[in-house]
Structure 1
Amino acid sequence: MSRFSRRQGCLIILGLIFLLILASSTVSTTAVVAGRNVNRFESTALADVPILNYHKIDTFYHALSIPPQEFEEQIAYLSLNGYTTITPDDLMAYFNHDKELPEKPILITFDDGYLDNYTNAYPILKKYGFTATIFIVTDLVGHDERFMTWDQIRQMQQDGFVFGSHTVSHIALTNLPRNQAMDELVNSRKEIERQLGTKVRYFAYPTGAYNQQVEEMVKQAGYRAAFTIRYGQAGIDSNPYALERIPIFRGQQTFRSFFIRLNGAPVLERFGLIRN
């Protein structure tokens, strides 16, 4: 398929999804979810898993800031439509054929470790019985009032939340010399392990920047997988050190955008418009 025809196909598919939404009387948390890929128990192929990517849950007018009310609307939608949150360990065990997942698994992630993840997102997620994985910048924890403290992080950990590394200082690793990049990877992992008393296996690339050399350093630093900001679902054919996510942004129609991005990913993958 040519680049032009792929773009046309993408627009057509997104247009159809948009029309599907408009055909409903209202777009609400009771909307019917679009079909998923074939279930692993009906096929030898493993189903892809959506991984949501958030940053801030607050009222600031910024693309990365989702208002708490709208965040709860999204979480309520996932709950009403039968989704169950999983951990990165669950995901990797699933892809290694060692573990079964719930019928509709979803991994919810946050980058940076902002204070509002604790004050705003945490109560909402607990209300619906959900957990999340949060990638933290260790030099900012407890040292910047905009970010969480270690005591807050430990409280969330006790409720099943998982914490991974987002480096020491949130510098794009592709811009650093190798030794400095390794320090960012290793020292952040060690600090989280020291503070939380648990093995840190997962990493998210600051600013989403990575290349093959950075991927190799992430492996050498002891991580089991790493997360990007590339749009798509994680599948058995995904690179475990470049896992796709579904970034969620604020907009004039935030829930509609969330609905389209969540339900559009499997459709676009089926047509080879993303990941391939």
Structure 2
Amino acid sequence: MVRLSRRQGYLIVLGLIFLFLLASSTVSTTAVIAGHNSNRPASVSLADVPVLNYHKVDALHHALSIPSEEFEEQMAYLSRNGFTTITPDALMAYLNHGKALPEKPILITFDDGYLDNFTNAYPIMKKYGFTATIFLVTSLVGHDERFMTWDQVRMMQQDGFVFGSHTVSHTPLTKLSREQAMDELVNSRKEIEQQLGSKPKYFAYPTGAYNLPVEELVKQAGYRAAFTIRYGQAGTESNPYALERIPIFKGQQTFRSFFVRLNAAPVLERFGLIRN
């Protein structure tokens, strides 16, 4: 029997993923029409939905900062390849009730609400006809020059951008008492409602930290779903209060990392290496 080193094993797995992606790229796709519960016919084949997770679009030397030109390269790739951005409402209607989605749906999200989301990401996304969902740290909006103002948030909202909660202070909820965590969830939701005229339905966990008690608090606070930083795609097997995303980071070869993380997720899930 031939024994393979760990490195050789990794290379073989990567090669298989590459070949699978190459083969998949030649196969035509059909519109995604599926569901999550008993309303869905058992014979319907379900497709998971990629949810990208960004933070900053600027020139800082930081893993969470994607330079504007590289962010545009990524948006151009999505546009060239026929992706259509969707809202969390559309995602949940698909997962729960089988509502139809565009042929290649993608949900783009940003955490924290940095000013560069407005000054840098917003114009690029408008150029390609895309929208995003931005999870706000409400104590920083309009109070810290590194973050957006409420007027800027409202301007983006008018162009179809969706805003959710990322708590009041960005403190990981797992480190707070039950009462403190509930205050973060409820007060951030109230502030967004007061500023934008409607209650936010969606939440993103600060630093990605969550557990079952925190999930239950998110439900009790009135949110319809919540997003983690756990790598993977959102699908009918996902917990709606622990939805997977594909975090996008800066690197020496940022676009290659973006390409691999976006395209590898469905392959890895199919092989049962993540979530499934």
Is the structural similarity TM-score above 0.5? yes
Corresponding pairs, count: 263
Alignment partner, residue 137 of structure 2: 137
Tell me the CA shift for residue 8 of structure 1. 8.4
8 Å CA contact 2:225–2:241 kept in 1: the answer is yes
For residue 200 of structure 1, give the secondary structure of its aligned residue in structure 2. Answer: coil
For residue 139 of structure 1, give the secondary structure of its aligned residue in structure 2. Answer: coil
Matches of 1:10 and 1:274, distance apart in 2: 16
For residue 187 of structure 2, give the secondary structure of its aligned residue in structure 1. Answer: helix
Quick one: which amino acid aligns to residue 206 of structure 1? P
Alignment partner, residue 81 of structure 1: 81
Quick one: which amino acid aligns to residue 108 of structure 2? I
8 Å CA contact 2:31–2:104 kept in 1: the answer is no
Tell me the CA shift for residue 99 of structure 1. 1.7
8 Å CA contact 1:227–1:242 kept in 2: the answer is yes
Matches of 1:228 and 1:111, distance apart in 2: 11
Alignment partner, residue 37 of structure 2: none
For residue 164 of structure 2, give the secondary structure of its aligned residue in structure 1. Answer: strand
Q: 1:18 to 1:41 in 2, by over 3 A?
A: closer
Tell me the CA shift for residue 97 of structure 1. 2.3
Which blocks of at least 5 consecutive residues in structure 1 are unaligned? 1-5, 24-31
Alignment partner, residue 185 of structure 1: 185
Q: 1:151 to 1:72 in 2, by over 3 A?
A: same
For residue 226 of structure 1, give the secondary structure of its aligned residue in structure 2. Answer: strand
Alignment partner, residue 153 of structure 2: 153
Tell me the CA shift for residue 250 of structure 1. 0.3
Q: 1:139 to 1:121 in 2, by over 3 A?
A: same
Alignment partner, residue 47 of structure 1: 47
Matches within 5 A, 1:161-172: 161-172=161-172
Quick one: which amino acid aligns to residue 110 of structure 2? F
State the 4+ residue runs in structure 1 displaced beyond 6 angstroms: 6-10, 34-38
Matches of 1:57 and 1:194, distance apart in 2: 27
Matches of 1:87 and 1:252, distance apart in 2: 31
Matches of 1:109 and 1:195, distance apart in 2: 20
Quick one: which amino acid aligns to residue 154 of structure 1? R
Q: 1:40 to 1:106 in 2, by over 3 A?
A: closer
TM-score between the two structures when normalised by the length of structure 2: 0.89
Q: 1:210 to 1:41 in 2, by over 3 A?
A: closer
8 Å CA contact 2:33–2:98 kept in 1: the answer is no
| Range that drifts further, 190-199 or 38-47 | 38-47
| Range that drifts further, 8-17 or 120-129 | 8-17
Matches of 1:275 and 1:7, distance apart in 2: 24
Superposition RMSD on alpha carbons, in Å? 2.6
Tell me the CA shift for residue 35 of structure 1. 6.5
TM-score between the two structures when normalised by the length of structure 1: 0.89
Matches of 1:111 and 1:74, distance apart in 2: 18
8 Å CA contact 1:13–1:268 kept in 2: the answer is no
Tell me the CA shift for residue 198 of structure 1. 1.4
Alignment partner, residue 114 of structure 1: 114
Matches of 2:107 and 2:263, distance apart in 1: 15
Q: 1:41 to 1:117 in 2, by over 3 A?
A: closer
